[in-house]
Amino acid sequence: MFDSNLKKKHVFLASADPHIINLILNLTQKSILNKKDVILLLDTVTAKSKEIETSCKLYNIKYFYYEDIKSISIQPLSLNSISLQPDNAKTIRSLINRKEVDAKKVNILITDDEVDRWLSLYNREGKIAINTSALIDENVLKVLSVVDNYIAPYTTWGKPLENILGRKLNIIDAVLPFNVLDYQSQEFLEAFLNSRKRDKNLSTYKVLLFTKPQNTRKVFNIIASYLSGRIEIPSNLDITIGTWLPLNPKGMMLYMSLKALIKLKNLPILLKLEQPVSSEQYALMLHEYDCLILQERGGFSTAKYFTENIGKLITLKNSFNDMTLSLDYGIETFSSKTYIDALKHVINTSQEDEENINRFASLLTKRHDESFDTLRDYWNSFQ
């Protein structure tokens, strides 16, 4: 049974987004929102929603299912959705149609995924329309036509969105506080992580290729091309390359082929296979590495965490991630024209590079702090 205490809250749509708990914890830990004023709205009972439900109980986050409120007035202060796709668009449209929320109180927290999908479709077709591969249905189109509030970095995501929709939008120019870990857990692990840094083996330089699994053949071709070329490694240094090849027969065959090439050329290189793990294990894994080579798009939260807390980040020149760091953060990153070039030059870290790594971390922190202030003021404006 719901009572008036559930009214006048900031409601967040959970859908199946893996970042939702992390986001709410970070918003409350940074005092952008008060946890007592936040409610999570789950769509339907699924295995994923049950996981989110368990996390809500663990972190004392209020939640309810959409089915439970269909006949109840909730009148939220704001309705907030990470990303926009058919599932959550259907819920948003329903709540607007029922006059439970005014479209002026709906906020879409934009990610690079939908911007990339919508922009690709717009550039190809000259407009956005119903398209399965772009995750656009009639509900998405309707929400886009009536909602004007979008939380996103303006230059790289907000401005293209205005061009796509053909009108001026209320872009809240801020970076969302996603992170590999929520901030409190990050603080708890900091002492342990720092001790690992002190004990790090300096005779081995470790490079992580991408933040998560990518196309298997693409990964293989990058590493194979690198290994087949001329490689210069200081005599006192070994190299470890972390990669995301799958553990299936195809992945193992490609892995063994790369190991054979390393042995044939007698290279001081070790290949390490990484696999998807929990957030805590992922953070620990990242701290094993000295350098991260970032994919063209996606993995941006990891990239920011790595730059702020760990080491050297290399981007592919003029990629979406490279442009985002340049335009939104003022960071001219270490960038390479190809991934093979990135691997070739990854260990050439000079004193100037070290200074730039520290400067990049400071610029990221500054942008995040400014974003926290912007988001705090924005959500406080809802009455």
Compute CA 285 distance to the chain's CA centroid, rounded to the nearest angstrom. 17
Characterize 334-346 residue by residue with b for buried, 16 or more Cβ atoms within 10 angstroms of its Cβ, and e for exposed: bbbeebbebbbeb
User: Does an H or E element contain 196, and which?
Assistant: helix 183-198
* Identity at 132, one-letter amino acid code: T
In tens, the pLDDT along 115-167 reads 888 999 999 999 999 999 999 999 999 999 999 999 999 988 899 999 999 99
CB atoms within 10 A of CB 132: 8
CB atoms within 10 A of CB 175: 22
Strand partners, 291: 207, 312
In tens, the pLDDT along 156-200 reads 889 999 999 999 999 999 988 777 666 667 666 766 666 655 556
Angle (deg, nearest 10), helices 20-29 and 183-198: 90
- In this predicted structure, the answer to whether residue 262 has a pLDDT above a threshold of 90 is yes
CB atoms within 10 A of CB 89: 26
Note the maximum CA span of the chain: 72
Compute CA 371 distance to the chain's CA centroid, rounded to the nearest angstrom. 16
User: Does an H or E element contain 171, and which?
Assistant: strand 170-172
Output the pLDDT for position 17: 62
In tens, the pLDDT along 47-104 reads 678 888 888 998 899 998 888 877 778 889 999 998 899 989 999 999 999 999 999 9
Distance CA 174, CA 151 (A): 6
**pLDDT > 90: percent of the chain:** 54
- In this predicted structure, the answer to whether residue 15 has a pLDDT above a threshold of 90 is no
Residue 169 tokens read as 């939008």
Distance CA 226, CA 345 (A): 11
- Give 125's contacts (C-beta < 8 A, 6+ positions apart): none
- In this predicted structure, the answer to whether residue 1 has a pLDDT above a threshold of 50 is no
Backbone angles phi, psi at 3, to 5 degrees: -125, -175
- In this predicted structure, the answer to whether residue 201 has a pLDDT above a threshold of 80 is no
User: Does an H or E element contain 329, and which?
Assistant: helix 320-329
Output the pLDDT for position 346: 81
Output the pLDDT for position 22: 85
Residue with tokens 């036509």: 145
Residue with tokens 């330089």: 205
Output the pLDDT for position 324: 87
Distance CA 346, CA 368 (A): 27
In tens, the pLDDT along 325-351 reads 888 888 877 899 999 999 988 876 555
Say if CB 360 and CB 304 are below 8 A apart: no
Output the pLDDT for position 198: 55
- In this predicted structure, the answer to whether residue 302 has a pLDDT above a threshold of 60 is yes
- Predicted TM-score of the model (pTM): 0.85
What sign has the CA pseudo-torsion 113, 115, 121, 123?
negative
Q: Where are the beta strands (DSSP E) in 26-144?
A: 38-42, 62-65, 78-82, 106-109
